[in-house]
Structure 1
Amino acid sequence: MSHPNPVSGVPSGVLLVDKAPDMTSHDAVAIARRSLGTKKIGHCGTLDPMATGLLMLVIERGTKIQDLLMSEDKEYEGTLTLGATTSTQDRQGEILEEKEVGDLSDEQVDEAFGKFTGAFEQIPPMVSAIKKDGVPLYKLARKGKVVKRDPRPVEVHDYEILRTELPEVDFRVKCSKGFYVRTYAHDIGAELGCGAHLSALRRTRSGKFTLDRAVSVETLKHGDREDLFKAMISLAEISLMRGA
């Protein structure tokens, strides 16, 4: 369905999207901008192209609460693959080193995860949107440059190991804002002595928002504009959800 752009009467609020794999968060914003007929739109928390799941789009006056919504805790489900480290800390990078995984027990795996709970510091990956002297790190990484990154305080509130079939481990993690699940996988692999990279990732929650009310990318692309407006969460409802 083609959408004229822009239109008047676009409601303010948040639209939850279940991001598809192999697209950027910016791609999702561009699709929504056309489909909703508005230029005033942003997203809360970048998802890597590989990742799927909850992407929160803030629309019209919803952009005023973008920082507030981005500051909330997140929940992810992921898979890490042991035995190989990569240049991006996920499966989309080049393999840097491969090691024998060995016969790790469930207890050893759980113990490694347990080392990364509570408050600790993470060194952000080179392939990230963090800026060094005004330039995003991922742009420097593309040129083969590696720069010193300062550790950042993060917190893991809870984790659960869902499946262990070596070399793969499925997990769920509840964490603070600014947490890199890729780095989490990488660091757990280092702790186990065989290395690891993140091979799958899905964001399932951000603050009070879950995938229950999310629309698919296909719906975002081809759905009726009025139906998309109805799917949005109003600023009044968000205020109630957050207990404001």
Structure 2
Amino acid sequence: MSGRVAGVETVEHLGARLHRVRVERNGREFALIPGGTVTLGLDLDVWQPTPGQAADYAESLGQGFGGGPDLRAYLAQVLSPRRCVTLAAVLMAVENENLTELPADMPAALAARGLRMPTSDEWEHACGAGAGTLFRWGDECPLDEIPYGHDTGPQRQLSALGLRIAYDTYSVELTSDVTAVHGGDGGESVCGGYGTLLAWLPLATANRNPSTAEFVYSPDGDGLCEDFSTRPVLPL
């Protein structure tokens, strides 16, 4: 592997000091994603919605959006379960990049550059960095605005590990798992007027956006592949 260290900084995360390391390779910046045994997914047995979140979801449900009798039931359908996994340390691109090939052809295109797609677990770990909250920045989101068209907001901040990730609901990031996409739903919830909370939920760290994934990997999604992206990984 060739590259140079472009920056090292220390940030506060989960009550401890965390080191962000950026490496530049071939004009692209990568962040160091530590490995080890990590906990992923949202623990719905202990998570509690705020009154505002519950009310916003109930309003969406009354208009025919969402699924299940309440917010917790809906999240159980779209979020990855709480679990422990062991991951290797990798370098992951700070910015996602648009696909240059059909999803099925991207692994070979990336391999020619010495890169690969992340696994779904790697993406979730890189996004949340151990935070057991709904979003990478916490459990709450602004319910007075949608996560699009704003230059400010928690989604615009870099992640704990220094990635620009889960920042725009119009984004759709692919991994090696064809049953999931991450970081957004292509703007479906915003354009569809599903409600404010449902517009934010595609940015949830553990959201696998299963209905969007089904579309992306269907024949209907082939013509839109340039609107999808992935976050290249450089193995160590």
Q: Same fold (TM over 0.5)?
A: no
With the length of structure 1 as denominator, give the TM-score of the two structures.
0.23
Higher strand share: 1
With the length of structure 2 as denominator, give the TM-score of the two structures.
0.24
